Structure 1
Amino acid sequence: MTFDHVSRLSIIFQLFGIESYLKSLEKVAKEKDIDVRTRRNLIEVDSENKMATFEFLDDDAKPTGKTERVEYSLLHIGPPCSAPEALRKSPFADKTGFMDVDVASLQSKKFPNVFGVGDCMNTPNAKTAAAVSSHLKTIEQNLTQVMQGKQPCMEYDGYASCPLVGSTNRVILAEFNSKGPMETTPFDQSKPTYWAYLMKRYFMPALYWNGLIKGYWNGPATIRNCSRLVKSK
């Protein structure tokens, strides 16, 4: 099985893009004796002999001509992300195939009566369910404004979140945008904690199925603003 078509989007340059969470994840990897290898692109899998071949990449994600074969017992592959074919071939998409929107208003650049939401947009945020909650808050106001003949006024702040499970009872509750952390609680969320595990295990599934999926949950911005007042005291 070869992977000649794998794009640069699949390349991992470090464990996480936000420095505070990166340090914690590197510590977890070290404690668990995890061999972290970055700047590699999977190009072939020999399933009969359980060997995976990777090519080394330079700082610009270009092949260096060097490869390595790694023996595996379990191989989990995260394929390159892409929008659905129907969107890629539509007039809504940009040259990458994702929906072309204004990164602030989430309004289509070509069709002002259309707004985007979710992973199919060309916004630079991490593609997570938590990001969708803030998308919904943004388009709820902007779509209403446009339907009333006004200009969009709400701006998406780039929020995304990843609960990073570090053990059977510890989680790093990463909340961030491209500029850095956007943490909701007044506590240090960059470290693996038991309370974050409890949220991941019991609270977030209920919030997802009963809140986000049904359109009732528009993100934690209000809670975050309240917690900032607590931090400032």
Structure 2
Amino acid sequence: MTLPLTIATVVIVGGGAGGLATAASLLRRRPDLNVTVIEPRDTHYYQPGWTLVGGGIFDQAKTARAMASTLPTGAKWHQAAVAGFEPALNRLSLTDGTRIGYDALVVAPGIELNWDGIEGLRDTLGQNGVTSNYAFDLAPYTDRLVRDLRGGRALFTQPPMPIKCAGAPQKAMYLSCDRWRRAGRLEDIDVEFHSAGATLFGVEHFVPSLMRYIERYGIDLNLTSTLTAVDGEAKRARFSTKDADGTLRIVERDFKMLHVCPPQRAPGIIRESELADSAGWVEVDPGTLRHRRFGNIFGLGDACSAPNAKTAAAVRKQAPVVAENLLATLDGRAPAAIYDGYGSCPLTVERGRVVLAEFGYGGKLMPSFPAWLIDGTKPSHLAWFLKERMLPPIYWKAMLKGREWLAKPRKAEEAA
């Protein structure tokens, strides 16, 4: 039996930050455009807030809203997941049996948290002192663990790149240390940071300020150290570490608290599709964000192959680029808007201070504010105000509504 085929001018896969911001930007430019968003979840999350939930600063409930309330006016919502892509036929199939045809496709399904990539982790999450701010339901457990810990070892981990919000594992650690310091308990807690990377942060301009906090809190920094297994009941964590000469060693550490950032990868539906590059990501041109092989397909957000930091701030700049280039494609014109790799990671080094890391492709510094107002390489009270008070309403009321404050896309000739 042939399944019925629904037709939409633009289909957007994903109702997260990338998908909804793009839908809003498209409909701001062309309000009568036929846009359908494919998203199975009924809740939309403000994920950047989960670090502050874990830090005892944000209310968990305020980081979630009904999906229906966050869709831009004019967009249709099909509540199902993608079952398969057929780019040569300009259509896709959904898990509810529907097939949808399109003139243009936007792919923004986000990133997959591979909890099973660490042996024993899934079985102990949310108990035995094992937590992660990367999950909505676990961030309050982080808050509770930090509040109740009186002594012993606290481990914080970061897996190999790429991950979304590369600074989040450190943010959890710094906020925890600051709370313990203020409570007079830090000297009784042995804090270790285990990162699979060879450097503390991928953009060297921000490392000196971060290292000062590593030293201030007395953190034992372990680079090229990857969490491979967790025994929650025994409170033991196993790491694969690489010595200076490249020799691999297995190290085990006991703990009272373990904050885990899980390894991450492109969603399976992308990895197994024709849209993927050799690493499994949606294969796009890093400037135009148009697919390299299918001219009416665009990708943005955490699942795309562009070598930028995977952050909500990056999506805020990507969505208008995709909107302009997609409409140009529908109109028979060449894409002209260019994404410069901008991303931002507000590193919460203590309550009341943030290192506002803003950078583009190749680690180029791309500050939004003059240095006399906010020097992004140094901790700032004003950057904390931006992170805590300004960014949530900017997300809900501007980015998801197509209001492109400081995000107007540049043309190719302007970027040259």
Q: Any idea what SS the aligned residue of 2:385 has?
A: helix
Greater mean deviation of Cα atoms: 119-128 or 76-85: 76-85
The amino acid across from 2:348 in the alignment is V
Query: 2:201 maps to which residue?
Result: 16
Query: 1:200 maps to which residue?
Result: 387
**Partner Cα distance (1:2, 1:87) in 2:** 18
The amino acid across from 1:182 in the alignment is M
Asked if 1:46 corresponds to 2:227, the answer is: no
Deviations 1:9-43 (A, max 9, x none): 37222221111211110111111111111101112
**Partner Cα distance (2:407, 2:392) in 1:** 15
Question: Per the alignment, do residues 2 and 88 of structure 1 end up closer, same or farther by CA in structure 2, a change over 3 Å counting?
Answer: closer
Question: Per the alignment, do residues 28 and 47 of structure 1 end up closer, same or farther by CA in structure 2, a change over 3 Å counting?
Answer: same
Asked if 1:216 corresponds to 2:403, the answer is: yes
Query: 1:180 maps to which residue?
Result: 364
Q: CA RMSD of the aligned region, Å?
A: 2.4
Query: 2:332 maps to which residue?
Result: 149
Question: Per the alignment, do residues 218 and 150 of structure 1 end up closer, same or farther by CA in structure 2, a change over 3 Å counting?
Answer: farther
Q: How does 1:41-120 map to 2 (within 5 A)?
A: 41-57=226-242, 64-120=247-303
Greater mean deviation of Cα atoms: 64-73 or 20-29: 64-73
The amino acid across from 1:9 in the alignment is M
Identity %: 35
Question: Per the alignment, do residues 2 and 207 of structure 1 end up closer, same or farther by CA in structure 2, a change over 3 Å counting?
Answer: closer
Q: Any idea what SS the aligned residue of 2:219 has?
A: coil
Question: Per the alignment, do residues 183 and 106 of structure 1 end up closer, same or farther by CA in structure 2, a change over 3 Å counting?
Answer: same
| Alpha-carbon contact 1:184-1:220 (below 8 Å) kept | no
Greater mean deviation of Cα atoms: 86-95 or 118-127: 86-95
Greater mean deviation of Cα atoms: 158-167 or 38-47: 38-47
Larger radius of gyration: 2
Question: Per the alignment, do residues 89 and 219 of structure 1 end up closer, same or farther by CA in structure 2, a change over 3 Å counting?
Answer: farther
Question: Per the alignment, do residues 83 and 209 of structure 1 end up closer, same or farther by CA in structure 2, a change over 3 Å counting?
Answer: same
Q: Would you tell me which structure has more strand in proportion to its own residues?
A: 2
The amino acid across from 2:251 in the alignment is E
After TM superposition, give the deviation of residue 2 of structure 1 in Å.
7.8
TM value normalised by structure 2: 0.49
| Alpha-carbon contact 2:118-2:262 (below 8 Å) kept | no
**Partner Cα distance (2:238, 2:392) in 1:** 37
**Partner Cα distance (2:407, 2:210) in 1:** 24
| Alpha-carbon contact 1:106-1:156 (below 8 Å) kept | yes
| Alpha-carbon contact 2:309-2:343 (below 8 Å) kept | yes
**Partner Cα distance (1:119, 1:80) in 2:** 14
| Alpha-carbon contact 2:283-2:304 (below 8 Å) kept | yes
The amino acid across from 2:118 in the alignment is F
Greater mean deviation of Cα atoms: 173-182 or 23-32: 173-182
Q: Which has the higher contact order (CA 8 A, sep 6+)?
A: 2
**Partner Cα distance (2:197, 2:380) in 1:** 25
Q: Any idea what SS the aligned residue of 1:21 has?
A: helix
| Alpha-carbon contact 1:133-1:219 (below 8 Å) kept | no
Query: 1:37 maps to which residue?
Result: 222
Q: Any idea what SS the aligned residue of 2:228 has?
A: strand
Question: Per the alignment, do residues 144 and 170 of structure 1 end up closer, same or farther by CA in structure 2, a change over 3 Å counting?
Answer: same
| Alpha-carbon contact 2:320-2:407 (below 8 Å) kept | no
The amino acid across from 2:366 in the alignment is M
Q: Any idea what SS the aligned residue of 2:339 has?
A: coil
Q: Any idea what SS the aligned residue of 1:130 has?
A: helix
Uncovered stretches (5+) of structure 2, i.e. residues with no partner: 1-115, 120-158, 163-195, 410-416
After TM superposition, give the deviation of residue 53 of structure 1 in Å.
1.1
Query: 1:190 maps to which residue?
Result: 377
Asked if 1:128 corresponds to 2:304, the answer is: no
Number of aligned positions between the proteins: 219
Asked if 1:169 corresponds to 2:352, the answer is: yes
Asked if 1:26 corresponds to 2:211, the answer is: yes
The amino acid across from 2:237 in the alignment is A
TM value normalised by structure 1: 0.86
